[in-house]
């Protein structure tokens, strides 16, 4: 049985993963018809429902950081999840990464102990599922640039010298855990902070991008 999640509704084989429980609620309202809360234990809000196309989908909050996300994914695997897309935020560190841009992860570099604890050597790359990744890019069209992200355990702003396009806190550990669980997983990230020092994305601007990324994730899972 799961150790952290206490489901009160069915769990779909396909899931959209987000760090923030507020984003889970936002995407449940955006993507599901008559969503039902499927977990509230430990503040890891989750919702179950069907999309307008009739496909079952779970939207699950994973908490902050790689260790929490990897543990939640382990519970989801026990509950029957087979495929997932992470919809998250990141710090854009490459000069071509613009605030508000949507990025599709082509590889995630392990830069923290959470990924190392899952068998990934520091500095090694973890790849997402190629089929889901290709579907994400197709759904996003010209918006979904394929990038390399470094996943760290400290605040991403402390790692602006990484030779990658972006820095986040979850993608590499999630991909590493997904591989051991045989879960197909891809990731789309929103550049919510930029190395240039521009103001962080907040409010309606960020929510609009979360909805756009969530719709692409749902469509990629149902394709």
Distance CA 38, CA 128 (A): 26
Instruction: List, as one string, the DSSP characters of 89-104.
Output: EEEE-STT--TT-EEE
Averaged pLDDT for residues 147-158 = 85
Q: Would strands 46-50 and 33-39 be described as parallel, antiparallel, or unpaired?
A: antiparallel
pLDDT score, position 94: 80
pLDDT score, position 160: 72
Highest mean pLDDT pick, 91-95, 191-195, 202-206, 210-214: 210-214
C-alpha to C-alpha distances, 47 to 16, 50, 53, 126, 199, nearest whole angstrom: 10, 10, 17, 28, 31
DSSP designation for 199: P
Percent of the chain whose predicted confidence (pLDDT) is above 90: 71
Domains and CATH numbers, the chain: 14-222 (3.40.50.1580)
pTM of the model: 0.94
pLDDT score, position 197: 59
**pLDDT single digits (tens) 102-152:** 999 999 999 877 777 888 888 889 999 999 999 999 999 878 999 999 999
**pLDDT single digits (tens) 163-178:** 899 999 999 999 999 9
**Where does 79-170 have alpha helices with state H?**
113-116, 130-140
Averaged pLDDT for residues 17-40 = 95
DSSP designation for 156: G
Q: Mean pLDDT across the chain, nearest whole number?
A: 91
pLDDT score, position 199: 65
Distance CA 89, CA 71 (A): 19
Distance CA 205, CA 220 (A): 23
């Amino acid at each position: 049985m799961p150790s952290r999640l206490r489901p009160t509704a069915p769990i779909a084989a396909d899931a959209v993963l987000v760090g923030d429980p507020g984003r889970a609620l936002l995407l449940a309202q955006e993507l599901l018809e008559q969503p039902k809360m499927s977990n509230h234990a430990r503040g890891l809000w989750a919702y179950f429902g069907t999309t307008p196309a009739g496909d079952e989908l779970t939207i699950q909050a994973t908490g902050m950081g790689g260790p929490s996300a990897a543990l939640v994914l382990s519970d989801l695997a026990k509950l029957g999840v087979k495929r997932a897309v992470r919809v998250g935020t990141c710090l854009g560190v490459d000069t071509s990464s613009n605030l508000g841009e949507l990025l599709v992860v082509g590889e995630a570099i392990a830069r923290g102990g959470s990924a190392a604890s899952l068998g990934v050597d520091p500095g090694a790359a973890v790849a997402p599922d190629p089929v889901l990744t290709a579907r994400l890019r197709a759904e996003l069209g010209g918006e979904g640039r394929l990038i390399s992200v470094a996943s760290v355990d400290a605040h991403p702003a402390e790692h602006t010298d990484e030779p990658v396009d972006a820095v986040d806190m979850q993608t590499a550990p999630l991909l590493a855990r997904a591989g051991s669980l045989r879960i197909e997983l891809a990731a789309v990230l929103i550049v919510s902070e930029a190395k240039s020092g521009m103001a962080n994305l907040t409010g309606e601007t960020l929510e609009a991008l979360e909805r756009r990324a969530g719709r692409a994730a749902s469509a990629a899972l149902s394709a």
